[in-house]
Structure 1
Amino acid sequence: MNLANRVLGRATQSDFANDIRAVMSEAAGFAAWLHADMHDIGTSRTYYRLAIDSARQAEHSLLAAYMIGSLAAFEIDADDPMLALDLLAQARRELGEQPPATARAWLCSIEALGHATAYDAPAAVAALREAESAVIASERAAAPPWPWVFPFDDAKLAGYRALVMVRLGRADEAVAAFAESLSSVQPAIKQRGVLMTEIATAKAMSGDYDEAFHLVSNALTVGITYGSERIIQRARRFRRTYGGPMTSSARAFDERLRATLL
């Protein structure tokens, strides 16, 4: 960020100024993600705002929509789905009337998760259907538009569908969608830790309590090993919302969680 800012200071009037501003937006978005991983919520929001402002100054509407969508996903994770849905509507306005199919698929998937977190099942399912249509359309494109690097395909959509079904309390559909997603995509280690907490929730809903605590305990290991406060907080959230019996697995997890916090 500091490097890009210094370069921009020397090149404000050049033909490359907007390219540098786009770089600043990407750097700020990554900084926001890093602070979110440390569960530094306030600083993360600050960097997301900077990422959005820099993208707009770069006159890159697609990048601005991407950063607004990223902030919306962050706010869903922070349990503020209504704010997230407002942000997603703003991202759609940034994109205009004919957005790239990849952008539409991604934003619709986040929107589905927002509606599910707000317990609006019909709206969540409708957003998933729109995302499915956009994924089909995106398959005809030669390559995803920057700032997307990889295609938003069926496997990634299945991952969002799984998260939506967890929020809606549909355990069997969630487990099936997780299996579909993970059979095609091997997430990075931290993302795998996040997903394990979600799969644990689905397993607990279906009554598989020992497997649920096995998964969330593994997620806690990832959080501790890689210093991800975000994953540790998700493990704590799982325990707070768990309403099943006090099994030996639950007691063992409680002991481990207390040791982690102390």
Structure 2
Amino acid sequence: MTQIPPQFWSGPVVAAALAECDLPTILEGVRQAHGWTQAQLAEAVGYSQSWVSKVLRGRQPLTVDQVREISIRIGVPLHLLRFGARGDDDPTKRRDFGKAVALTALAGVAMPKRPDVDETTAATHTSITGAQRRLEAITPARELARPAVAQVDFANRVLGRASRSPHADEIRAGLSEAAGFAAWVHADMQDTGSARFYYRRAIDSARQADNALLAAYMIGSLAAFQIDADDPLTGLNLLARARREIGERPPATAHAWLLSIEALGQATVRDETAALQALRMADSAVRASERAAAPPWPWVFPFDHAKLAGYRALVMVRLKRPGEAVAAFNESLLSAQPGPKQRGVLMTEVAAAEAMSGHYDEALYLASNALTVGTTCGSERVLHRVKTFRRTYGGPPSKALRSFDERLHATLL
């Protein structure tokens, strides 16, 4: 059986069906993706054609075990379905799934095509964005851009129908998350205009949802984007706005993250004193965050010392302190496992630090590995970092440099 590409599962229709355990829609999408007839689909799932026909028309109710069995046979990622893998016997999840299947079975008879908004609507939209985020680490940004933008437009249309409902603010927050992800995807494509547009939309939606923490997160993300785009002054001004948004007593996780971005911005403008002070304050905030029960949403994972070490390494590269930069990178990589694209970005920074120290062969080796990541993952952001490394490289001519240049030119062509 031909494998379906990962981006298929992040499309707005399929992702919504996964979130709602809408197996008829998933089956029809898989059938079309493979170019199968209904009989070929029936053969793949191991049931009769008449039975499959009833399922596709919403006339055949399904048990949890049947959905799990069919999903495994046609390659549906079980972790994207609400009920989870075998052994997950949470009765609440099973009731939710049973309700979803029952409603789906009546789709052709009783369900309206545009159902009323309820307490599950925002969670469903957030789960779609979450599925797209999980695919981002292994999927070229250009393949995720259209689904990400479609999800923003989809959430906006739902909000238009629900603007006066008691769930409107939750949907606005979900729209903010979708727009933030669309911004991130376009940033990875080096489409700076679109990235700024979606970051602004994410900020506006978070403010309209009256969610100061989410708004501060999106403003901080835009600040980090501006600093990464060699506009540190704008980034530092945005960080000041994020702090005003979040208030005088921000959660320790948010405080540590914003301070780390500030340290990077100050290092980029060569204010060493301010950059080092921000790092010290971030270290104190990380220690405070370790005493908290859990990071506040939208920070899903703790901002710990490993993540701070990664920022410290970036700061030291910009302050031209290569020995400290390499040590900080080693510290961050010992306890953290960044995704492939982020690892590619980090390798270019380590390469710059090694070149500063005169370790030119090591620098070119790391930059070559980053080039492999950029081409394999289709990340223009990583490729841009590799080109920046080459532009600033000051080492002598060598066989390794000629080989690197040949690879880089071949990639650009």
If the length of structure 1 is used for normalisation, what is the TM-score? 0.99
Aligned to 2:268: 117
1:162 is aligned to 313
CA deviation profile, 1:150-171 (whole Å, cap 9, x unmatched): 0111111001000000110100
1:128 shift after superposition = 0.3
Question: Helix, strand or coil: the match of 2:295?
Answer: coil
Residue 44 of structure 1 is matched in structure 2 by 195
Are residue 98 (structure 1) and residue 249 (structure 2) matched?
yes
Instruction: Name the counterpart of 1:226.
Output: 377
Deviation at 1:247, TM superposition (A): 2.0
2:285 to 116, 134, 153: 134
CA distance in 2, matches of 1:78, 1:10: 37
- When Rg is computed on C-alpha atoms for both structures, the one with the higher figure is 2
Partner residue in 2 for 1:69: 220
Deviation at 1:67, TM superposition (A): 0.4
CA distance in 1, matches of 2:274, 2:399: 39
Q: Does 1:153 align with 2:304?
A: yes
For residue 196 of structure 1, the aligned residue among 343, 347, 350 is: 347
Q: What is the identity, as a one-letter code, of the residue corresponding to 1:17?
A: A
Aligned with 1:26 (options 177, 183, 204): 177
Matched, 1:208 2:359: yes
CA distance in 2, matches of 1:249, 1:41: 33
Tell me how far apart the structure 2 counterparts of residues 147 and 248 of structure 1 sit (CA, whole Å): 48
Q: Find out whether 1:55 has 2:206 as its counterpart.
A: yes
Given residue 402 of structure 2, which amino acid in structure 1 is its aligned partner?
R
| 1:79-98 to 2 correspondences below 5 Å | 79-98=230-249
| Structure 1 residue 3: Cα displacement | 1.8
SS in 2 for 1:112: helix
- Please say if 1:13 is aligned against 2:164: yes
For residues 389 and 328 of structure 2, the distance between their equivalents in structure 1, rounded to whole angstroms, comes to 20
**Which residue number in structure 2 is paired with residue 251 of structure 1?**
402
Please give the per-residue CA displacement for 1:108-140, whole angstroms capped at 9, x wherever unaligned: 000000000111100000000110110011111
Q: Deviations over 1:8-49 (max 9, x none)?
A: 111110111010000011000000000011111111110001
Runs in 1 of length 4+ with deviation above 3 angstroms? none
* Distance across 2 between alignment mates of 1:77 and 1:247: 30
Q: How does 1:171-182 map to 2 (within 5 A)?
A: 171-182=322-333
Deviation of the 1:255 alpha carbon: 1.2
In terms of fraction of residues, the more helix-rich structure is 1
**Structure 1 unaligned spans of 5+:** none
Give SS of 2:390's match: helix
Counterpart-to-counterpart distance in 2, 1:168 and 1:247: 27
Local SS of the residue matching 2:291: coil
Identity of aligned residues (%): 73
Report the TM-score, using the length of structure 2 for normalisation.
Answer: 0.63
Tell me what 2:87 maps to.
none
Q: Distance in 1 between matches of 2:403 and 2:383?
A: 16
Q: Which residue of 2 aligns with 1:239?
A: 390
Following superposition, the deviation at residue 6 of structure 1 comes to 1.6
- CA distance in structure 2 between the partners assigned to 1:168 and 1:121 by the alignment: 7
Aligned length: 262
Further displaced range: 165-174 or 248-257: 248-257
C-alpha displacement of 1:2: 1.8
What SS does the aligned partner of 1:212 have? helix
Whole-angstrom CA distance in 2 between matches of 1:203 and 1:138? 32
